[in-house]
Amino acid sequence: MTLLIPVDTAPASEPRCTEAAEDRLIEGKPSYKTWDLDAALAEAAPWGKIRTGIWEATPGTTVSLKGETFEFCHILSGLCRISEDGGESHEFGPGDSFVMKPGFKGSWQTIETVKKIFVIAS
């Protein structure tokens, strides 16, 4: 088993396809494709599981709640606007990276179909 795994930004495998949950939908009808690349149990810290993959979303706006989840994102293509409840809004496009920390509450607006690399600790 290798401990070095390159991130394939164009996986040949079939993605898991889903749509926005009705209780999270603000505007539009976004659909999602997720390619799970790897998962591991956390050896340290309070995280139980760490997952990596590629995620794609079509335009629309949804409620974003992280709960106890930590997420790092790196945008490969497209454009999104993330707004924190009671805070600022930020637009992210190709080459941008950001972190949503546990407790984050806000909205995710996909302006142009967005594709990202994610790392989630939960």
Give the side-chain half-sphere CA count within 13 A for 41. 1
- The whole-number pLDDT of residue 44 equals 55
Residue-range domains of the chain with CATH: 16-121 (2.60.120.10)
DSSP string of 23-90? GGEEEE--EEEEEEEEEEE-SSSS-SEEEEEEEEE-SEEEEEE-TT-EEEEEEEEEEEEEEETTS-EE
> Quick one: CA torsion of 31, 24, 50, 68, rounded to 10 degrees?
170
How would residue 122 be classed by pLDDT, with cut points 50, 70 and 90? Answer: confident
pLDDT at 119 over 90: yes
